[in-house]
Structure 1
Amino acid sequence: MARSTRATGAIERLNTRAGTKQYSMGRTSAELFYLLQRTPENPAEKLCDPLPLDEFVAFVNAYGPQKPKRVSKLDVAFEKQLAKKREE
């Protein structure tokens, strides 16, 4: 059960990043996972070949829109200092 929980979590994060609920997963009898996308034209389009859990989670995490990287005020100030140094 823990295996599919990691995969399910990856799907939930992908749906959150995409702002939809169009992604889901399938699982083979050999415990391999594959990503599915629902569209009006095709209710179950396979987006990848069946993959082992770790590869599937890595694929789903890299798929679709990504969360923008958080940047702190200190990071911004440091970048400004570096830009000034390069100009000198």
Structure 2
Amino acid sequence: MRSTRATAAVERLKSRSGNPDYALMRTAAGLFCLMLGPAADPASRLSELLPLDEFVAFVNSFGPQIPRRVTKNDAAFEKQLVAKKPVE
């Protein structure tokens, strides 16, 4: 199993939070865990052991989020989607 997606998710978390102490732990069974600080301390685990897809989803939702950039065109398009009600 490739862990490139998991590593990239942790790197994004590091850049979003400004904290370089986040780390990734991978077990022999292919499960992943998010750690903070030294890996020897069991209290530093921030997540349970998760499979790859669940781990990436957890890390992406963890910590501060970057607000989505909305252009004028995006805002106008979203406004058009909501503007009309269906005719019965």
TM bracket, shorter-chain basis: 0.7 to 0.9
Partner Cα distance (2:28, 2:10) in 1: 19
**Normalising by structure 1, what TM-score?**
0.73
| Residues 11-26 of structure 1 mapped to structure 2, 5 A cutoff | 11-26=10-25
Residue type at the aligned position of 2:15: T
Could you tell me the percent identity over the aligned residues? 54
| Alpha carbons of structure 1 residues 19 and 12: separation in structure 2 relative to 1, 3 Å | same
Residues 6, 57 of structure 1: 8 Å contact kept: yes
How many pairs does the alignment contain? 78
Partner Cα distance (1:43, 1:14) in 2: 21
Partner of 1:47: 46
Partner Cα distance (1:44, 1:36) in 2: 9
Structure 2, unpaired ranges of 5+: 81-88
Residue type at the aligned position of 1:51: L
- RMSD over aligned CA atoms reads 2.7
List structure 1 runs of 4+ shifted beyond 2 angstroms.
73-76
Matched, 1:61 2:80: no
Partner Cα distance (1:46, 1:35) in 2: 6
| Alpha carbons of structure 1 residues 23 and 44: separation in structure 2 relative to 1, 3 Å | farther
